[in-house]
């Protein structure tokens, strides 16, 4: 199945001087959120619907620019979402537990303490003597202040044997931790008394391939969801065989053949790639990449003092 066949099904809301292909079948990438609903992937479906509802960026291809994706500049408010992804959902996946436990054990590593000192000095260096609470009510506040440590969780680009809501929603993401507590300033000496941690997720929801020669595959999809590649191939072969058998028997009239073919085509699986979303955005003028931030999971820790300056 070629990339062109995947995108040819999408009838445009407003055809821009013939840039959109004429519809040849029903299934398209805009049907994926409903397929995710059928698979009980609520977070994946919500994130993708957010993308379809968003506006393209003011870039050449309408996608998130590299500087924004690399956190080198501030992202406009309309391209940030912190309402969909929940830490309780993330931690419901067993494979996340290892990364979470590792990050928790490394929250005060030497590099983490260096990050903490930098953030504390940046904010409190000119404050008068006193005690100042360090708490974060959202991941946005944590990102602005400066997280303590982070773990990049990745999944091989071509691995499509793990099919669940986490893979559909994030696949690759950053799991972050930030320390909370109280800053104490006395006679120009600054200490940070840590008594709690906050964990959250940061990610970019986008479909850019960068300089990759081949567009990233996002699985084989139909109206009912996605399956692993071998199953998709087997079911497509079966559909082809059934269609051939129907044509060879000649027992159905043309109208019945068309109806049966239509039903069979509805079960066919199609390879979806990043490039299909890029083409959709160029064709329809819709589809906005955005930054994902989760809520914060808080945990108390034994009191720990970090000397910031003396």
pLDDT tens track for 110-144: 999 999 999 999 999 999 999 999 999 999 999 99
Instruction: State residue 155's pLDDT score.
Output: 78
Instruction: State residue 258's pLDDT score.
Output: 57
Residue 256 placed within a domain: no
Residue 35 placed within a domain: yes
CB 292 within 8 A of CB 205: yes
Place of tokens 């928790």: 104
Pick the range with the lowest mean pLDDT from 89-103, 170-184, 263-277: 263-277
Residue 105 placed within a domain: yes
Residue 233 placed within a domain: no
Residue 181 placed within a domain: yes
Dig out the tokens for 289 from the structure. Answer: 């990449």
Number of separate domains in the chain: 1
Instruction: State residue 8's pLDDT score.
Output: 30
**DSSP one-letter code for 64:** P
The model carries a pTM of 0.84
What gap in Å lies between CA 310 and CA 308, rounded to an integer? Answer: 7
Residue 98 placed within a domain: yes
Instruction: State residue 153's pLDDT score.
Output: 93
Place of tokens 């940030």: 80
Residue 237 placed within a domain: no
Dig out the tokens for 271 from the structure. Answer: 């390879």
DSSP state letters, 167-210? HHHTSSEEEEEEEEEEEEEETTEEEEEEEEEEEEEEEEE----T
Residue 85 placed within a domain: yes
**141: containing domain:** 3-222+269-309
Compute the mean pLDDT over every residue in the chain, rounded to the nearest whole number: 86
Judged against a pLDDT cut of 80, whether residue 252 lies above it is answered with no
* Residue 309 pLDDT level (bands cut at 50, 70, 90): confident
């Amino acid at each position: 199945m070629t990339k062109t066949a995947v995108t040819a099904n999408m009838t445009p809301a407003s055809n821009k001087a013939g840039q959109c292909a004429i519809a040849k079948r029903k299934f398209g990438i805009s049907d994926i959120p409903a397929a995710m609903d059928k698979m009980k992937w609520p977070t994946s479906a919500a994130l993708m619907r957010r993308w379809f509802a968003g506006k393209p960026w003011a870039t050449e291809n309408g996608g998130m620019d590299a500087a924004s994706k690399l956190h080198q500049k501030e992202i406009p408010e309309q391209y940030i979402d912190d309402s969909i992804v929940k830490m309780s959902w993330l931690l419901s996946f067993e494979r996340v537990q290892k990364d979470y436990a590792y990050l928790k054990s490394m929250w005060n590593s030497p590099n983490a303490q260096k990050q903490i000192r930098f953030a504390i000095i940046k904010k409190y260096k000119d404050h008068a003597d006193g005690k100042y609470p360090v708490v974060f009510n959202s991941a946005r506040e944590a990102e602005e202040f400066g997280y303590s440590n982070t773990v990049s969780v990745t999944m091989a680009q071509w691995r499509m044997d793990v099919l669940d809501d986490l893979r559909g929603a994030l696949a690759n993401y950053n799991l972050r931790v930030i320390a909370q507590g109280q800053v104490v300033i006395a006679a120009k000496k600054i200490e940070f008394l840590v008594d709690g941690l906050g964990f959250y997720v940061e990610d970019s929801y986008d479909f850019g391939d960068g300089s990759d020669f081949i567009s990233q595959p996002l699985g084989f999809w139909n109206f009912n969801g996605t399956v692993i590649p071998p199953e998709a191939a087997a079911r497509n072969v079966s559909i082809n065989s059934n269609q051939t058998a129907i044509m060879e028997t000649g027992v159905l009239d043309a109208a019945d053949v068309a109806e049966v073919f239509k039903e069979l085509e509805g079960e066919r699986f199609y390879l979806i790639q990043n490039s299909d979303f890029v083409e959709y955005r160029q064709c329809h003028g819709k589809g906005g990449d955005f930054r994902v931030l989760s809520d914060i999971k808080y945990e108390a820790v034994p009191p720990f003092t970090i000397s910031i300056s003396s």
